[in-house]
Amino acid sequence: MTGKKSGALEVFQNPRPGRKYEIRFECPEFTCLCPRTGQPDFATIGIIYSPDKLCIELKSLKLYLWSYRDEGAFHEEVTNRILDDLVAACMPRRMQVTGDFLVRGGIHTIVTANHPEA
């Protein structure tokens, strides 16, 4: 399956589709660009999900996240777009994506998006 970004999100069959369990990913090297200044933004992207029939393949997730490096996006937009693309790829029971962005201009930003919406 392909996400909306240039990096293709691949999935595989959940080995335990009848069991409710949780998968957590922490991606501490996420970067994108500030759409106003072009300066790099650095973040840790946290992903927590309960798979249904499909799981996200890790190498494709890494390449997908790397595809943001040269793209300008506000923190709120990028966090929500990652959630949308991951949900479209694997249709989880539930998922949460958190963007924990480093301090810029004296402000530390954390954006959390949920599926289904809480």
Q: Which residues are catalytic?
A: 34, 41
Three-state DSSP state, 17:
coil
Q: Assess contact for 110 and 43: CB atoms under 8 A.
A: no
Nearest of 59, 58, 64 to residue 82 by alpha carbon:
64
- Please give the Cα distance from 65 to 17 (Å, whole number): 26
Residue 8 backbone zone (phi > 0: left; psi -120 to 50: alpha; other: beta): beta
